[in-house]
Amino acid sequence: MDEVEISLNGHTFELDRSVPQLGDYIGEAGNLPPRIRKIEVTNKTLSEISVKVTSARAEGAAYKYSIKKLAEDEEAYVEKEPNGGETYTFTGLISPEKYTIKVDLVIDGEIKDTKTENVMLGELEEGTITFEGPIWPGNGTASAIVKTNTSYQLQYQINAIEDNGWQNISNGGTVTNIPAKESNLYARLWDGTNASDYATFPISDTVEPKITEIKEIEVTETTIKVQVIATDNESGIAKIEYSSNDGEEYTIGETETATEYTFTGLTELTEYTIKVRVTDGAGNTAELSKKIATDGEKFSDIYETTTEYTDSEGNTAWIPGGFAVGVTNSINKINGGLVITDKIDENHKSIGNEFVWVPIEDYTTMYEEVTEPIKLYGMETTTSVYSKFGIASGEVGHYRIGKPGDLYSVREPDISINDGYYYNVLGYDSLKDMADKMVEEYMATYESIKKYEGFYIGRYELTGTVEKPTVQKGKVLEEDWYNLKKACTNIVSTNYAQTTMIYGNQWDTVCNWLYTKGYDTYTCSNSWGNYFNSTGAADIEGKGLRQITGFSKAWSAQNIYDLAGNYSEYTQEANYGQRSARSGHCQTSNNGSYNPVMSRNTTNPTINNGYVTSRPALYLLTKIV
């Protein structure tokens, strides 16, 4: 309440609280003069101001309306209406601008009272313009939504306030491509001629990117390939840089945001500090480092007896006496292909035969056990255990899987028709001796796998000679099945372990294991083997030609070389008078889809055609001799 009434000497007076001097309202004989109580702004647009004047004791009064800009001198008043009523609208104004409105109360041509009011035209009240955001599309910029509760046109500018820089946008429209760091979005109202003051929406991404992990993708003797797992939920990742030592400058990969990078020219068996720096679209950075050693094949001391071994991941294997286990990088992990060797030099580098451990979760997937012994083909020799087999894609209908004695099926252990002519090559006294020894060896392998839950496969295809066979990187041994079986048997024969030509069910088990590790062993092995049509990383110079075993790591899986292509490899599977050769060789009559690793071809065991070799398996003796 702005007014009160008081009584003085029998007269009643009105008193305005906003006026400090009572005497200003008391005239001679107690009469009050006409006065303007207030000027009320009733409406504003971007170019108009409407006012209403409230007065006291102003019967018959007229009102003179004038206006000027607040910053101008008194002489700048412009009279708009000399004889108006209690309301008036100033038009044709400019905004944003602050004006002073003057109203004169006139009676009988005489100004009785004057009042002024300062009015801001185009001033934005709270809520007139609102913003939503920022929204981060992840491309180094931000977006924001602009709204108004008026019917005026919205306009905006980014990081500038220039007369000609304003752009129209619909109510609720989205402004895009706002720089992510220390930006301001400005918005105003526009009626086609005049504009309001502007509202400001500050935008800045101050959140650092997050680097979750530096993953080792591939490590060799001279290279380290890493993958960076990083995120930025605001302005997005703009650059990823790599460094292999604290003192080196950062470099980028193939693109500014490449998440993989390969460090080259490194030194074997050397630990490097791999550093990664990630920068987002606003310039915020994050760094992470990890120590990674280059590969190289060092081995432990030779184990004196068969010993249970636990790797750094908690998995276990058995190391036969007389062997050393790999101790560096990928060759010491069971899930990655644990490598052992039977000879090391003074620098603990392998100079011997090398094998890879194949873990078995359930030995019954490899073997069929029967209570009634089964005779081998044409023999009185019997076995109570025989192999279960798998078949590759495309083999259905080509091979019948059977049991010993079934001449027209794939089976083991068993005699083939040709064995009666060549058992002496293997050093047996008779075919019966061969049959007995085959079952004896097969059962020893079975008992070993059952006890130790795994076996070893030759890391390389068979090398050396029949008289001095080896399992080392080098020239592949090309021979018929009988000489290859003989060679496989003679590689290792100690109190702790024995080598044999690999059995078909062992080959299948290796295929199953590799398949779980991401290697296609069933349908097409082109991507990791030596075929004439090798693809991807396996498509290297020298493909389609018979190479030394261990020629390229691109043709390996779990540290096992050349299972896919290069040479076909004999197993001990019998089929009529033939033996199975697995995987297929490298030249144009084979390819990685027609002859994936799991595939088999039956071959006359007496023929050495230069495209077939074998690979030994090694089992641990269940009883130390």
The residue that leads in pLDDT, 295 or 492, is 492
Would you state the pLDDT for residue 21? 47
To which CATH superfamily is domain 33-121 assigned? Immunoglobulins (2.60.40.10)
Of 13-22, 318-327, 603-612, the range with the lowest mean pLDDT is 13-22
Query: Per-residue pLDDT for 324 more than 90?
Result: yes
d(CA 99, CA 102): 10
Query: Per-residue pLDDT for 514 more than 90?
Result: yes
Would you state the pLDDT for residue 591? 84
Q: What is the share, in percent, of the chain residues with pLDDT greater than 90? A: 81
Q: What is the share, in percent, of the chain residues with pLDDT greater than 70? A: 94
| Lookup result for tokens 């001097």 | 21
CATH class of the domain at 210-293: mainly beta
Would you state the pLDDT for residue 29? 38
Would you state the pLDDT for residue 397? 65
d(CA 625, CA 21): 125
Would you state the pLDDT for residue 247? 61
Domain boundaries, the chain: 1-32, 33-121, 129-203, 210-293, 307-352, 363-620
Query: Per-residue pLDDT for 274 more than 80?
Result: yes
Would you state the pLDDT for residue 15? 54
Query: Per-residue pLDDT for 28 more than 50?
Result: no
**Mean pLDDT rounded to a whole number for the chain:** 91
Query: Per-residue pLDDT for 541 more than 60?
Result: yes
Confidence of residue 27 (pLDDT cuts 50, 70, 90): very low
Fold agreement (129-203, 210-293): yes
Query: Per-residue pLDDT for 24 more than 60?
Result: no
| CB-based contact 521:598 (threshold 8 Å) | yes
Bridge-based pairing of strands 612-614 and 568-575 is: parallel
Q: What is the pLDDT of residues 159-206, one digit of tens each?
A: 999 989 999 999 999 999 999 989 999 999 999 999 999 999 999 999
CATH class of the domain at 129-203: mainly beta
d(CA 378, CA 432): 10
Would you state the pLDDT for residue 1? 42
Q: What is the pLDDT of residues 408-419, one digit of tens each?
A: 999 999 999 999
Would you state the pLDDT for residue 10? 52
Q: What is the pLDDT of residues 428-487, one digit of tens each?
A: 999 999 999 999 999 999 999 999 999 999 999 999 999 999 999 999 999 999 999 999
Can you list the positions of beta strands (E) in 204-328?
A: 210-219, 224-231, 237-243, 251-252, 260-263, 271-280, 285-293, 307-310, 316-319, 324-325
Q: What angle do CA 173, 179, 180 make, to 5 degrees?
A: 100
